[in-house]
Amino acid sequence: MSDRVHTPVMVEECLAALLVAEEGIYLDLTTGAGGHAEAALERAPRARWLGVDRDAEILEIARANLARFGERVELVQARWGDLDRLLDERGIAALDGALLDLGVSSLQLDRAERGFAFSQDGPLDMRLDPRGGEATAAELLERATQEQIATWIRGYGEERFAGRIARAIVEARQRQPLRRTGELARIVEEVVPAPPRGVRRRIHPATRTFQALRIAVNRELEDLEGVLGILRRRIAPGGRLVVLSYHSLEDRIVKRFLRDVERADEFRRVSKKPLRPSEEEIRGNSRSRSAKLRIGERVRPEEVGATRRKRY
């Protein structure tokens, strides 16, 4: 794993929203290297922390970083679909808070052999859990139809040139199987038009395609919708759901979920609009630029009916 230090995003805002009970039980569903967890355990010295991540390798970094907190923290490698079982096995009926910091860690992006990034050549993998049995990005592209590939790139990457990218991928794989991130990046670069003269390209032309394939490989959006349904039942009255998202697809799911549970008088939105990182944080950590933080609070029984607002 890279020696680069991973800087967690919007730590102060996340902890201010999350830590509602001094001796609370908190769930971190995207533990990564443990940045948010470390700050939370320092801030709340009597809290318990259950950290979950699909990536066993990055959890080893978290284990080292959080070792000084002893039995107050437990780290588990698992999928979100296993959450009910994990909580039941530990006798946890309800949570005081749950944190989701969505997306991919810079520590994962830095490793060429994981295949997430187009900036360095590596195997076209993209699995969050390389030992989990899912198909790699290369395997998906090898067996998918042109229409399926275009659907992924258009739907998950919001890429306007999805059709021509999919066609170029199919034509390339007919010559030889796509196995490397560098190969895929070059194919995309060749077919995405350059911006008009004098206009600077904001992002690499392969950015949206790589995002789309990562989401498809790991079924990220389906898993997000599923785990939000579990947390709807598992967060205690007065407890908080805190979600950091980095692209519109994730944020749209979270926004819709919080709207629906508020209408059902189960949660209330702590803020109508998402919180954004400060300019100072963006200058120090460019990864935070696109972050949106949404917060929901489970309604207490005596508050039911008091949270109704104008529908929008």
Question: Whole-angstrom Cα distance, residue 181 to residue 114?
Answer: 10
Residue 175's pLDDT is: 94
Report d(CA 273, CA 214) in Å as an integer: 28
- How long is the chain? 312
d(CA 151, CA 230): 28
Return the pLDDT at 171.
Answer: 97
* Phi and psi angles of residue 241, each rounded to the nearest 5 degrees, phi first: -110, 120
Bridge partners of 26, per DSSP, are 49, 97
The secondary structure of the chain as a DSSP string is ---SPP--SSHHHHHHHH---TT-EEEES--TTSHHHHHHHHH-TT-EEEEEES-HHHHHHHHHHHGGGGGGEEEEE--GGGHHHHHHHTT---EEEEEEE-S--HHHHT-GGG---SSS--BS---SSTTS-PPPHHHHHHHS-HHHHHHHHHHHH--TTHHHHHHHHHHHHHHS---BHHHHHHHHHHHSPPPPTTPPPSS-TTHHHHHHHHHHHHTHHHHHHHHHHHHHHHEEEEEEEEEEE-SHHHHHHHHHHHHHHHHTTSEEES-SS-B---HHHHHH-GGGGG-EEEEEEEPPGGGTTTT-----
φ, ψ of residue 32 in degrees (nearest 5): 55, -135
Determine contact, residues 19/97, Cβ cutoff 8 Å.
yes
Domains along the chain? 11-107+221-303 (3.40.50.150), 135-218 (1.10.150.170)
Q: How many CB atoms lie within 10 A of CB 308?
A: 11
- pLDDT recorded at residue 98: 98
Q: Are 172 and 183 in contact (CB under 8 A)?
A: yes
As averages over each run of 10 residues, the pLDDT of the chain (312 residues) reads 66 96 96 95 96 93 96 96 97 97 79 83 92 89 97 96 98 95 96 83 90 95 97 98 96 97 96 94 90 97 66 35
Task: Mark residue 115 as left, alpha or beta (left: phi above 0; alpha: psi -120 to 50; beta: remaining).
Answer: left
CA–CA distance, 168 with 209 (Å, rounded to integer): 12
What is the per-residue pLDDT for 1? 45
Structure tokens at 311: 């529908």
Predicted confidence at residue 146, as pLDDT, reads 98
